[in-house]
Amino acid sequence: MVSCAATKIPRATDQQKVDLLKKVECFIFDCDGVIWLGDKVIEGVPETLDMLRSMGKKVFFVTNNSTKSRAGYMSKFQSLGLDVKAEEIYSSSYAAAAYLESINFNKKVYVIGETGILEELDLKGIRHIGGPGDADKRVTLKSGEFMEHDHDVGAVVVGFDRYINYYKIQYATLCIRENPGCLFIATNRDAVTHLTDAQEWAGNGSMVGAIVGSTKREPTVVGKPSDFMLKNISATLGLRPDQICMVGDRLDTDIMFGKNGGLATSLVLSGVTTEEVLNSPDNKVIPDYVLSKLPDLLSVKQAAMVAA
């Protein structure tokens, strides 16, 4: 249900936690702010995942961070002591490549983004240019300067890019505006992201916004809250939406992603969304459950095991 937060939304009670664990067969987790903050795993998360697996629950990890491929995320999970399979990871870099494959795309892609997108495009056999290779390219804007661009580019994919520059913005703009039928794809439009555990950093929404501004085009978004990844997971498992719970720290992406797909939703307050934002009169996205952090579920471990 989507409504306005008129009164304070309480944390989930122990009985509500037990009911959630009893009815849900699959948990989809955001990563940043839920599983880890920056390069530190949130205390109690490994034990929580072990508990869910011991109860026979399926777990998936869905992240809007496109800087890594699924293989790259596997390395991060392992470095944090988390036992996760590659097929349990859905990154927005993978979603971008999977989306292009689903529409039988056969042209080149210009990438604003990092290695994660390039690695996933390579795995799908999709040709690409740009990415980190354009990090040091500069525009001087001297008199008469004219930028050439590849007319075989049929899609521009914009993901988080720590090395975005004016050259990349202009190149992407030329492809979208001048190449007939060129697609504009965004891995996500997150306003901020947790790239370190010290503070929030400007997210991919800032990169996408630059291209929206120069092209006057809106992108196709393949990450949350788009339902592209959700449909893939549901089809793979053969589960109904009401058997799946989305757990995230963002109202506008994670919880909306779950609401749009008809899932149960659980907001954790260990990441981007604060209790003040959750209970603001301006908030129109209300989660089904609220936890201070994912390991809150451990408090009902014994009761949940009996109920299961």
* pLDDT tens-digit readout, 2-22: 445 557 899 999 999 999 999
Residue 276's SS3 state is: helix
Q: Is 134 annotated as a binding residue?
A: no
pLDDT cut 90: percent of the chain above it:
81
Q: Where in the chain is the domain with CATH 3.40.50.1000?
A: 14-64+225-306, 97-221
The alpha carbon of residue 3 and the mean position of all alpha carbons in its chain are separated, in whole angstroms, by: 24
Which strand (E) or helix (H) includes residue 246?
strand 244-248
Specify the pTM.
0.85
The answer to whether 136 is annotated as binding is no
We find that the CATH architecture of domain 14-64+225-306 is 3-Layer(aba) Sandwich (3.40)
Does 282 appear as a known binding residue?
no
* CATH class as words, domain 97-221: alpha beta
Q: What pLDDT shows up at residue 269? A: 97
Residue-level pLDDT at 87: 87
Q: Is 224 annotated as ligand-binding?
A: yes
pLDDT tens digits for range 259-295: 999 999 999 999 999 999 999 999 999 999 999 999 9
Task: Give pLDDT, residue 240.
Answer: 87
The whole-angstrom distance between residue 277's C-alpha and the CA centroid of its chain comes to 20
The pLDDT assigned to 75 comes to: 92
Give the pLDDT confidence score for residue 308 in this predicted structure.
56
pLDDT digits (tens, 9 = 90+) for 160-190: 999 999 999 999 999 999 999 999 999 999 9
| pLDDT above 80: residue 107 | yes
- The pair of structure tokens assigned to 95 is 């979603």
The proportion of the chain whose per-residue pLDDT surpasses 70, expressed as a percent, equals 96
**Percentages helix, strand, coil for the chain, rounded to the nearest 5?**
40, 20, 40
Catalytic machinery residues: 30, 32
Q: What is the pLDDT of residues 215-228, one digit of tens each?
A: 999 999 999 988 88
Q: What is the pLDDT of residue 1?
A: 44
